[in-house]
Structure 1
Amino acid sequence: MSKPAVVGSDSVGGGRHLRRVVGFWGLMFICLGSIIGSGWLLGALTTAVVAGPASLISWALASVMLAVLALAHAELGATYPIAGGTARFPFFAFGPLAGFSAGWMSWLRSVLIAPIQVEATLSYMDRIGWIHDRADLLRANGTLTAAGLLIGSGLMLIFTIINILGVQLLAGINSVTAVVKTVVPLLTVAVLMTLAFHPSNFTAGGGFAPHGAHGVFAALPAGVVFALLGFEQAIQLAGEARDPQRDISRAVIVAMAIATTLYLLLQVAFIAALDPAALTRGWDNPVGAGNFGPYATLAAAAGAAWLATILYVDAVISPAGTGLVYMAGAARLSYAMGRERVLPRPLARIGRSRVPVVSTFLAFVVGELAFLPFPSWQALVGLVTSAAAIMYAFAPVSLHALRVRDGDRNRPYRMPSGMVLAPLGFVFANLIFYWSGYEADWKLGIAALIGFVFLALTRRGIPSGERSGLRGKSAAWVWPWLGGMILIAYFGRYGGTGALPEWWDLVIVIVFSLAVHYTAVRLAVPAESVDAAVRHEEEGESVPPPPAASAR
């Protein structure tokens, strides 16, 4: 592979590196604060409508699938601790073209999360009487009013300012909000299970699984997977970790374990607290039509109006805190692609506070635009889940390829049974993509094509002598994979034509995924090219050597 064009810190960052100041607790709370957002407030209701009590299986299934993907990210993040890791691991394994494909999906998903969380915050604020009486924030169809757009833009601006002031401030604020966001759900579980626990609800409204296996799978993109997303945010900020080799893997694993336990408890508490009379006709409206705050409604019905008040306050804090972190993650991803010269070079510029300032402003602008065509929380969930599935899929296949091509590198954390779990993780990510539905998948395909227009324009602006090779052969599997998955979704049972028989559709996804995975591993770039790319990026970000293995 031709050596990547050097983007030195003197030219791009004004002689500055990202500042490595975030410790284990900051990284762990960044993960936890990203996972616990609007998903916990809305996910239980949405998934119960789709799957009934069997939504518990949906949460358990998603937890297992995402745990495998989290472990893959934990190894990669500890081994290659640089900013915007989800864009750079495929870059190391398969070259710039694959790196851009992964980075574009990662960035698109991350940059949309902040406005999604703001939408959720505004939706809850609009339910608070004294706010609603003074200014409507949402129209009946869920679109923002002028007042809602003004407040939403104000929140996005606050996110931007905090991010620009420095990663220490960001981590400190997030740690406080993450604690609040964890304590309030635990309090909710304790109160609801004490005051309103109806065991009969777990078999009401058509039985435990009123919509069968289809309902269990359909619930995953309806809110379950979305709620559990975010464990990779510590990896996006790895360029600012104080001791990345030690702390990143631990932060990801601990945060994922806490969040998984919390979400399962919340779903149990939600189902058990419902009024049994509301389930006699099924699960279409278990807490009443139009209710946007299910836990607050259940708390009030159980005689805990004080908890409902706390929940409405937390409904502002939780999504806002998550939006703050995702803006930071989006900025690090575009920063990484700017360093790799697959997006314009100024995106890699570092400001005085040692953060990617141009990339942060870009995240703000795109987030503002997202308010216009995508007005509601639910409207973006499917698209973001689909993008996250593609982003996550790149990690296990990159891990497998890098273990083969870069196996001698020090790995502070190794995913157990990595050569088995890596292909399994790729399968899991593709199943999530399939379950997201054809409607979201084909739109994501269009978004991917748009991304490649930006790549082409960026490369046209680079003098021919400075362009690195795209490694098209090593990335030759990417477009057949994406195109094949969209085609399967078209004929599938989740928003497609339904031509594929039940269960056989899953077999096709699994077989196709394994074929792509092992093909990709064989096409990975040579070992010397991996080492050259890693050394270049580590030098550019001043990565500290491993404590006992600075030599490779």
Structure 2
Amino acid sequence: MDNNNMRRDIKTFALTMTGLGSIIGSGWLFGAWRAAEVAGPAALIAWVLGTFIILFIGLTYAELGTMFPEAGGMVRYAHFSHGSLAGYISGWANWIAIVSVIPVEAEASAQYMSSWPFAWAHSLYNGTQLSAAGLLIAAILVIIYFILNYFTVQLFARVNTAITIFKFIIPGCTILGLVIAGFHSGNFTQYHGGFMPHGWAGILTAIATSGIVFAFNGFQSPINLAGEARNPQRSIPIAVIGSILMAGVIYVLLQLAFIGAVKPSMVSNGWDNIQLKSPFADLAMAWGLNWLALLLFADAFISPSGTGMTYTATTARMIYGMERNGYFPKVFGFVNPKVGVPRAAMWLNLVVSFIFLFLFRGWGSLASVISVATLISYVTGPISVMVFRRYSNEAVHRPFKIKGMQIIAPLAFIMASLIYYWAQWPLTGKVTLIMVIGLPIYFYYQAKSNWEGFSKDLKSGLWLIIYLLYMAFISWIGSSKFHGINIIPYGWDFVVIIISALIFYTWGVRSGYLTKDLEDGYQMKQSKTDVH
């Protein structure tokens, strides 16, 4: 590997804690509140379904991660299976979604501070966005994440593991404290529409936009750090599957505690009108649990900071991976030989993080965009894994094979497509536009390489371009329950999405080909190098 000086220092437990640490970030501090706003008590169903859906998608990436155990793996799979165009779109979507998490986590910490019992703290957040002082605190946190990742992988892994263990303790205390202090079973059925005030549409929209998909995005971290895993073939599947399941249990219990602990007066105007700045901390203070409020205020720094620190590490590896695909300048592919960290990539992500920080000044303003952008990269995983299954081990080294992938992969693609639709118009159209904005970078680097193989890559990646445009169009003409113009009524829109997804899945799998990286025996060389 030309300039890959990354060190394989991360063990299975640390890699699992990296995934769990990424998932249990600001999502647990705000996700239960946002889901309850959208779906009411039925937010419980949204978290269970969300866990199940992400697990299906994660299984496809668990197999891919063992096949290509390298840094920034999430942005490389479509490049290997379909060439440069599909690889670029998938990588761009994934990078945009993940790099923007860094400032979101910092904003979450600053926003939680606004409920502190000090007059100056109340000015940090006005209920919609952070003030200048709040942004300054968030900016300082982003710099701290950067510093902790700048010097060594081992420092990052040790600090992250310690933080993640702490993350288990605080949610556990929150669940027990709120359930014991004041659990109202009547909250689940008695107020404004009962258990499902907005029906199934509310549950499905909550999965897509209230922070559920956003929360589970962290399962990617073990995959993007696979190049630094000591035993990737064993560690990656355990880390991906284990982190999703453990986080799912925690989130369901947190949602249960939140709904039960809300005081009846807080839902007098309906679940969608609950006014909270720091949801769990506000509930703790309402019940006189000052000790819990103090823990939550402390965790408002620790949980988001752990996730922000992890994403600072993984986004640097993603830029590294995109440079190796040929989409970024070579300087971003250089790994410092002394510390094993791609420092130039980290500097780029730091700049982009500050741009997002000042463009989107509240936790909620970015969570939906991040979720939908990530879904665009998710749809390529189920297709890529089935493309690689057509090849022998001479072309693709496959040390780990999940049984039933022929069923799991199309189901994962359908589920990702449905969540994309549930995100509602016009958000789906806006995120598609963001994908288009990134294409000039792709064409610039294609021109520099004399468009070698472009026609083949265009033909192979055409399914993804048409899929994105088609999904945005269906979202526009879809059910009014998902903010469409109701040409396709509710219920039938699901049928259309499922049938369409199967057609695009088949097209996508058949469009894959033995790309140059694989044809040159890339993976065989990679696997031999990685063993030593």
TM normalised by structure 1 equals: 0.91
1:492 corresponds in structure 2 to 478
Q: Deviations over 1:452-479 (max 9, x none)?
A: 10112223344x4988876222212110
1:454 corresponds in structure 2 to 441
One-letter amino acid of the counterpart of residue 462, structure 2: A
- Indicate whether 1:343 and 2:328 are aligned: yes
CA distance in 2, matches of 1:370, 1:510: 34
Deviation at 1:298, TM superposition (A): 1.9
Query: Equivalent of 1:323, from 297, 300, 308?
Result: 308
CA distance in 2, matches of 1:327, 1:293: 25
CA distance in 1, matches of 2:181, 2:144: 38
Query: Equivalent of 1:378, from 353, 359, 364?
Result: 364
1:226 corresponds in structure 2 to 214
One-letter amino acid of the counterpart of residue 57, structure 1: I
Q: Is the 8 A contact 2:59 2:241 kept in 1?
A: yes
Distance 1:305 1:500, change over 3 A: same
CA distance in 2, matches of 1:385, 1:155: 23
1:293 corresponds in structure 2 to 278
2:112 corresponds in structure 1 to 124
Q: Deviations over 1:407-433 (max 9, x none)?
A: 665534322310011011011111111
Deviation at 1:405, TM superposition (A): 2.9
SS in 2 for 1:232: helix
SS in 2 for 1:474: helix
Deviation at 1:372, TM superposition (A): 2.1
CA distance in 1, matches of 2:263, 2:516: 63
Query: Equivalent of 1:512, from 481, 500, 516?
Result: 500
Distance 1:140 1:156, change over 3 A: same
One-letter amino acid of the counterpart of residue 321, structure 1: G
1:168 corresponds in structure 2 to 154
- Indicate whether 1:439 and 2:434 are aligned: no
SS in 1 for 2:460: coil
TM normalised by structure 2 equals: 0.94
Q: Is the 8 A contact 2:115 2:282 kept in 1?
A: no
SS in 2 for 1:227: helix
Deviation at 1:529, TM superposition (A): 6.1
CA distance in 2, matches of 1:529, 1:386: 29
One-letter amino acid of the counterpart of residue 313, structure 1: A
Q: How does 1:250-265 map to 2 (within 5 A)?
A: 250-265=238-253
Q: Percent of aligned pairs with the same residue?
A: 35
Q: Deviations over 1:320-351 (max 9, x none)?
A: 11111112111111111101112222211112
1:249 corresponds in structure 2 to 237
One-letter amino acid of the counterpart of residue 311, structure 1: L
CA distance in 2, matches of 1:501, 1:299: 42
1:548 corresponds in structure 2 to none
Distance 1:465 1:431, change over 3 A: closer
Distance 1:347 1:196, change over 3 A: same
Q: Is the 8 A contact 1:491 1:500 kept in 2?
A: yes
Query: Equivalent of 2:23, from 35, 40, 46?
Result: 35
Distance 1:282 1:244, change over 3 A: same
1:199 corresponds in structure 2 to 185
Q: Deviations over 1:267-296 (max 9, x none)?
A: 11111112234334421334xx2x212212
- Indicate whether 1:152 and 2:118 are aligned: no
Deviation at 1:120, TM superposition (A): 0.7
RMSD: 2.1
CA distance in 2, matches of 1:86, 1:424: 20
Q: Deviations over 1:9-52 (max 9, x none)?
A: 2xxx3xx5211111111110110010001111111111111111
SS in 2 for 1:472: helix
SS in 1 for 2:358: coil
Q: Is the 8 A contact 2:332 2:342 kept in 1?
A: yes
Distance 1:141 1:267, change over 3 A: closer
One-letter amino acid of the counterpart of residue 444, structure 2: L
CA distance in 2, matches of 1:62, 1:135: 34
Deviation at 1:185, TM superposition (A): 0.4
SS in 2 for 1:78: helix
CA distance in 2, matches of 1:444, 1:285: 27
CA distance in 2, matches of 1:312, 1:84: 33
CA distance in 2, matches of 1:382, 1:317: 23
CA distance in 2, matches of 1:182, 1:361: 31
One-letter amino acid of the counterpart of residue 510, structure 1: I
One-letter amino acid of the counterpart of residue 49, structure 1: E
Q: Is the 8 A contact 2:115 2:121 kept in 1?
A: no
CA distance in 1, matches of 2:414, 2:244: 20
1:72 corresponds in structure 2 to 60
Distance 1:337 1:134, change over 3 A: closer
Q: Is the 8 A contact 1:17 1:542 kept in 2?
A: no
1:413 corresponds in structure 2 to 400
Query: Equivalent of 2:256, from 263, 268, 273?
Result: 268
Q: Is the 8 A contact 2:116 2:122 kept in 1?
A: no
SS in 1 for 2:272: coil
SS in 2 for 1:438: coil
Distance 1:373 1:406, change over 3 A: farther
One-letter amino acid of the counterpart of residue 271, structure 1: I
CA distance in 2, matches of 1:312, 1:64: 31
CA distance in 2, matches of 1:282, 1:150: 35
Q: How does 1:109-120 map to 2 (within 5 A)?
A: 109-120=97-108
1:62 corresponds in structure 2 to 50
Deviation at 1:319, TM superposition (A): 0.9
Structure 1 residues 182-191 or 432-441, which shifts more?
Answer: 432-441
CA distance in 1, matches of 2:372, 2:211: 12
CA distance in 1, matches of 2:144, 2:237: 30
One-letter amino acid of the counterpart of residue 439, structure 1: P
Distance 1:114 1:520, change over 3 A: same
Deviation at 1:533, TM superposition (A): 6.0
CA distance in 2, matches of 1:141, 1:252: 34
1:549 corresponds in structure 2 to none
One-letter amino acid of the counterpart of residue 491, structure 1: I
Deviation at 1:448, TM superposition (A): 1.2
1:314 corresponds in structure 2 to 299
CA distance in 1, matches of 2:7, 2:197: 52
